[in-house]
């Protein structure tokens, strides 16, 4: 396929997505479910790609995603809760006076700064997650794969315990969680942020550093013999991945409007793992696709499994609360056991791929005919 | 803190540690043989809790206990057959993901079948009998747990050191491929590992939940992770190590709760893990492995 | 005395109670091809691993271009366990990681091929260029280093052409035939621009014809890239034909060294390889 054709197709696709989003933005009330699925999908897509950067491209099996999301989410939430709502949110223990004073200063800031403020909060959330990752990366990244998994999982639990501990009540509001977090003003915004984040990660993966990551994934000893400093590159991948995970955590806080430490339990990490397994470990487009598919089926398409259904007066057995998640986990096991490569394997979406896929049945026929003629 | 409360806390800690030790043995054995963190082990333990609830509805406790152990063993072996066996040649990450998948499935299945609300754990009258020594009062289970744990583990170690299947297990844990070439039936050995691990988890679950009094679909997750940490602490692959690790974690956790830091008691386990991995990654009783280049 | 590129001084490597390399001293001079031979388990690969920083030696020092790059003496638990000699001769501790050694200009191949199997031949060689590039992670992500990147790709392309891997450059490294995988591993090591090349059994598993080709190939790259070659090898035809000097290792110790003819007739070497005749 020609390069120019591909360009046109790309532009058309992006335009279609933007038009769809604008349409949805103007019909918010009718399409509530679709909108919320798309937003959540976009947010999880960032986390999934970030996790894939670690697990699929650097070969580090890390299970700390929920913890880094929690850092991002709490940071962003603390920055964004408006002064007027503060007393209501922290009704139990009151808010740290320093934070309140900071918020009051921000209220009086010039309007351009106020417009940027949510984005800055997201970035700060990401930076905090990245800093924390840098700190724990020093001991943890020297460990072998399965110890790394359990240690990162452990850290994510430690973060959760710290966030809900009474000692930090005036900052994190302890076990009461945070609410009244301002949301996105426009449906397009989470998509633009997600697009930028994922694009940055794609650029990184295709850069010389991305190649070094892949070398580490393939063979650590050989990579080291090629002059690649293992610790430095693993730490880099870990910190960058955590930054984007933190940003996505902040976005999740803005999307959900209220968060508590429980939101960021191990189950959240498993959900994201599920996305990258279904999408294909080592494929960015697979992760993005997986994020939307998993979110849509979980929150929307498979909802009917949770309700008792009657078809022609016959009540379908088994359909009640929780059945959806059972189906979902069986689906995951089927993918893990029989389609280990997931949807995309390590391949990426490309127009050539689609074109070949469409062409395939026809070319097959041709050769079959040729064979018959002989 | 008075001396009595101190002793009381010590007893609780040792008892909790005993239950942890039993679960940790399951982790350490599976890891020793398959090099797999069996993330589903904690959920097998949770399922054993539910089995007990249902068994006790119609059966007396003396019958219910063996039934629960058998049911748990069947579950453990079935999981190995369905979810781990097909992936034996797959990359490590795939098997680990499969284990996480099973854990996810068991939790969701339990939520579906038994709802997410805590279910009351039946009381076994004998275990709940209160003993009074001076000012200290504790139920029998508190005393039985450590004793039973030690007895079971000694039996297990004897089995591993003195029987044919035990020797096969040791061989497989040293070198998977070579032992296969030596005519050891790998699948039998692995099944045996899961049978022992699950049976111990079932016993552990009875002891643990008798103290806690309720089960939820998620009550296996954290104890599961803690017990894995216990196994790492003791040196993964070492059975006495797992027992020592289990007791350390059980006692430390109780101590933290007693001192009023209950929110940190879960996190502390992982702090311990990280300290251990930093200074002695092979654990207390683990062997050092040198990577071949 | 000619200028030596690599010098090992009393290197001892002990794992627990097992002494793998014992008091090994050797020199590799500029422009030479030196072979390290010996029966299986003699400690050859361990010696390589010490030179390349995979293991820190228990005792002893390594010099590269007459500059000390590695030095160590028994520490901690090893103080009690140490069975070797020369205690106290190396008070200075200098330990380097393998990537630092590669940066100095020492490249290696592995006994059991270690390619980046899922990556293409082109990428395998391109990755070797990573350590000599100057961009940081931000400038690389934002493609501010596009000139350098372009140059790296061009050099790799050129390099692949010279080494005869042009036809397979887009194939996965793991899918290449065995002989070509060995070639690629050497090519990848060369792409790090070393001055000393360590080859660990480059002809292992090759048939006589492939071994012939490999011999010619090693000669060619040595001249073309101005290299010094130090290699472990079991194929005696290759060793005798190509090497300027040979060191023989047995049970971790040097039992002989010299030019090929001397080695061929050395009774101790024959003994090490064939065992002692009982009835002689």
Average pLDDT, chain A: 87
From the CA of B67, how many Å to the nearest CA of chain A?
26
Q: Grade residue A89 by pLDDT with cuts at 50, 70 and 90.
A: confident
Q: Which of the pair, B46 or A34, is modelled with greater confidence? A: B46
Residues 123-162 of C with CB under 8 A from A: 123, 126-133, 135, 137, 140-143, 145, 149, 152
Residues near A143 by beta carbon (within 8 Å), at least 6 away in sequence: A151, B277, B281
The Cα–Cα gap between A157 and A178 comes to: 19
Please tell me if residue A222 touches chain B, with a CB cutoff of 8 Å.
no
Residue A364: the pLDDT is: 55
CATH code for the structural domain at A31-368: 1.10.3470
Tens of pLDDT, residues A138-170? 888 887 777 888 889 888 988 988 888 888 888
Residue C76: the pLDDT is: 83
Please tell me if residue B117 touches chain C, with a CB cutoff of 8 Å.
no
From the CA of C55, how many Å to the nearest CA of chain B?
10
> Count of H helices and E strands in chain A?
16, 2
Residue B273: the pLDDT is: 87
Burial of C60 (0-12, 13-18, 19+ CB in 10 A): buried
User: Over 60: is that where the pLDDT of A368 sits?
Assistant: no
From the CA of A320, how many Å to the nearest CA of chain B?
8
From the CA of B245, how many Å to the nearest CA of chain A?
16
Which residues partner with C256 through β-bridges?
Answer: C248
CB distance A226–C128 less than 8 Å?
A: yes
Largest CA distance in chain A: 87
The Cα–Cα gap between B52 and B59 comes to: 10
Residue A1: the pLDDT is: 66
From the CA of A184, how many Å to the nearest CA of chain C?
28
Single pTM value for the model: 0.90
User: What CATH architecture is C1-104+244-280?
Assistant: 3-Layer(aba) Sandwich (3.40)
Residues 2-31 of C with CB under 8 A from B: 15-16
Residue C80: the pLDDT is: 85
Residues 30-49 of C with CB under 8 A from B: 45, 49
Residues 67-126 of A with CB under 8 A from B: none
Q: Which residues of A touch C184 (CB under 8 A)?
A: none
CA B251 to chain centroid, in Å, comes to: 16
Residue A361: the pLDDT is: 67
Q: Which residues of B touch A61 (CB under 8 A)?
A: 93, 96
Size of interface B-C (CB pairs under 8 A): 6
Q: Grade residue A372 by pLDDT with cuts at 50, 70 and 90.
A: very low
From the CA of C194, how many Å to the nearest CA of chain A?
11
% of chain A surpassing 70 pLDDT? 96
- Which pair of tokens denotes residue C2? 């000619």
Low-confidence stretches of chain C (pLDDT < 70) are 1-2, 275-280
Residue A349: the pLDDT is: 78
User: Over 90: is that where the pLDDT of A34 sits?
Assistant: no
Please tell me if residue A192 touches chain C, with a CB cutoff of 8 Å.
no
Residues near B193 by beta carbon (within 8 Å), at least 6 away in sequence: B29, B30, B33, B34, B169
Block means of pLDDT (10 residues each) for chain B, 293 residues, are 82 91 92 88 95 91 93 96 90 88 93 90 82 78 88 92 90 86 89 94 93 88 90 88 93 90 82 84 72 53
Q: Which residues of A touch C131 (CB under 8 A)?
A: 226-228
Q: Which residue of C has its CA nearest to A200?
A: C141
Please tell me if residue B120 touches chain C, with a CB cutoff of 8 Å.
no
Alpha-carbon distances, residue C131 vs A208, A216, C119 (angstroms): 10, 13, 18
The Cα–Cα gap between C151 and C155 comes to: 6
CB distance A227–C143 less than 8 Å?
A: no
Residue B293: the pLDDT is: 53
Inter-residue contact A156 to A242 (CB < 8 Å): no
Residue A371: the pLDDT is: 39
Residues 102-121 of C with CB under 8 A from A: 102-103, 107-108, 110, 114-119
């Amino acid at each position: 396929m020609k390069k120019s054709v591909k360009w046109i197709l790309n532009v058309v696709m992006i335009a279609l997505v933007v038009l769809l989003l604008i349409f949805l933005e103007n019909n918010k009330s009718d399409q509530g479910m679709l909108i919320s699925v798309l937003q959540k999908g976009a947010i999880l897509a960032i986390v999934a790609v970030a996790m894939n950067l670690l697990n699929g491209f650097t070969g580090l099996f890390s299970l700390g995603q929920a913890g880094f999301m929690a850092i991002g989410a709490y940071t962003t939430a603390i920055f964004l809760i408006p002064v007027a709502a503060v007393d209501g949110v922290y009704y139990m223990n009151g808010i740290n006076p320093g934070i309140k004073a900071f918020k009051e200063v921000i209220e009086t800031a010039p309007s351009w700064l106020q417009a940027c403020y949510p984005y800055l909060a997201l970035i700060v959330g990401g930076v905090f997650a990245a800093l924390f990752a840098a700190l724990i990366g020093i001991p943890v990244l020297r460990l072998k794969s399965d110890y790394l998994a359990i240690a990162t999982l452990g850290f994510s639990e430690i973060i959760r315990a710290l966030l809900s501990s009474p000692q930090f009540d005036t900052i994190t509001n302890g076990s009461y969680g945070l609410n009244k977090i301002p949301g996105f003003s426009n449906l397009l915004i989470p998509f633009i942020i997600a697009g930028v984040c994922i694009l940055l990660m794609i650029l990184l993966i295709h850069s010389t550093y991305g190649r070094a990551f892949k070398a580490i994934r393939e063979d650590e000893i050989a990579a080291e013999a090629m002059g690649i400093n293992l610790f430095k590159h693993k730490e880099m991948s870990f910190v960058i991945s955590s930054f984007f995970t933190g940003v996505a955590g902040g976005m999740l806080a803005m999307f959900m409007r209220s968060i508590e430490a429980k939101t960021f339990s191990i189950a959240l990490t498993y959900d994201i793992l599920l996305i990258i397994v279904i999408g294909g470990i080592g494929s960015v487009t697979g992760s993005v696709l997986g994020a939307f598919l998993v979110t849509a089926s979980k929150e929307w398409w498979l909802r009917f499994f949770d309700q008792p259904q009657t078809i022609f007066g016959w009540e379908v057995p088994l359909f009640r609360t929780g059945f959806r998640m059972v189906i979902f986990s069986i689906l995951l096991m089927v993918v893990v056991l029989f389609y280990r490569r997931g949807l995309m394997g390590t391949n990426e979406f490309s127009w050539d791929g689609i074109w070949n896929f469409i062409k395939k049945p026809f070319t097959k026929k041709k050769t079959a005919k040729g064979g018959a003629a002989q | 803190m008075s001396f009595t409360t101190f002793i009381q806390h010590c007893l609780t800690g040792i008892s909790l540690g005993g239950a942890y030790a039993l679960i940790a043995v399951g982790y350490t054995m599976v890891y020793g043989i398959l090099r797999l963190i069996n993330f589903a082990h904690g959920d097998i333990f949770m399922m054993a809790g539910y089995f007990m609830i249902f068994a006790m509805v119609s059966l007396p406790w003396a019958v219910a206990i063996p039934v629960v152990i058998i049911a748990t063993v069947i579950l453990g072996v079935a999981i190995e057959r369905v979810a781990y066996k097909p992936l034996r040649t797959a990359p490590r990450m795939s098997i680990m993901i499969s284990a996480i998948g099973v854990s996810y499935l068991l939790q969701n299945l339990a939520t579906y079948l038994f709802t997410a609300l805590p279910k009351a754990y039946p009381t076994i009258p004998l275990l709940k009998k209160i003993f009074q020594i001076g000012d200290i009062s504790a139920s029998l289970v508190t005393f039985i747990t450590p004793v039973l744990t030690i007895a079971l583990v000694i039996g297990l170690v004897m089995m591993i050191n003195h029987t044919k299947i035990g020797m096969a297990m040791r061989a497989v844990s040293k070198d998977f491929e070579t032992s296969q070439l030596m005519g050891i039936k790998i699948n039998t050995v692995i099944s045996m590992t899961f049978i022992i691990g699950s049976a111990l988890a079932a016993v552990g679950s009875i002891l643990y939940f008798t103290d806690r009094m309720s089960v939820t679909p998620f009550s296996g997750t954290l104890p599961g992770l803690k017990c894995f940490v216990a196994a790492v602490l003791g040196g993964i692959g070492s059975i006495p190590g797992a027992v020592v690790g289990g007791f350390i974690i059980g006692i430390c956790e109780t101590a933290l709760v007693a001192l009023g830091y209950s929110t940190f008691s879960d996190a502390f386990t992982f702090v311990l893990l990280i300290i251990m991995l930093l200074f002695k990654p092979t654990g207390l009783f683990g062997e050092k492995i040198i990577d071949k280049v | 005395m000619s200028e030596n590129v690599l010098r090992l001084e009393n290197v001892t490597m002990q794992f627990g109670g097992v002494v793998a390399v014992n008091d090994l001293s050797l020199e590799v001079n500029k422009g030479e091809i030196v072979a390290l031979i010996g029966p299986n388990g003699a400690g050859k690969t361990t010696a390589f691993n010490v030179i390349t920083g995979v293991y820190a030696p228990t005792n002893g020092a390594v010099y590269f271009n007459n500059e000390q790059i590695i030095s160590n003496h028994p520490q901690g638990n090893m103080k009690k366990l140490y069975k070797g000699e020369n205690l106290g001769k190396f008070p200075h501790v200098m330990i380097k990681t393998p990537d630092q050694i590669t940066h100095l200009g020492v490249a290696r191949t592995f006994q059991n091929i270690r390619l980046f199997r899922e990556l293409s031949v082109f990428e395998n060689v391109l990755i070797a260029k990573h350590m000599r590039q100057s961009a940081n992670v931000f400038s690389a992500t934002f493609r501010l280093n596009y000139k350098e990147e372009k140059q790296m790709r061009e050099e790799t392309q050129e390099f692949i052409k010279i080494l005869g891997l042009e036809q397979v450059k887009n194939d996965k490294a793991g899918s290449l035939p065995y002989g070509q995988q060995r070639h690629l591993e050497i090519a990848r090591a060369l792409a790090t621009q070393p001055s000393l090349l360590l080859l660990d059994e480059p002809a292992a598993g090759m048939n006589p014809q492939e071994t012939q080709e490999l011999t010619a190939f090693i000669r060619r790259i040595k001249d073309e890239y101005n290299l010094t070659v130090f290699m472990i090898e079991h194929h005696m035809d290759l060793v005798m034909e190509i090497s300027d000097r040979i060191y023989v290792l047995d049970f971790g110790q040097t039992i002989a060294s010299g030019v090929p003819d001397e080695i061929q007739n050395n009774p101790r070497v024959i003994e090490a390889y064939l065992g002692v005749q009982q009835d002689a």
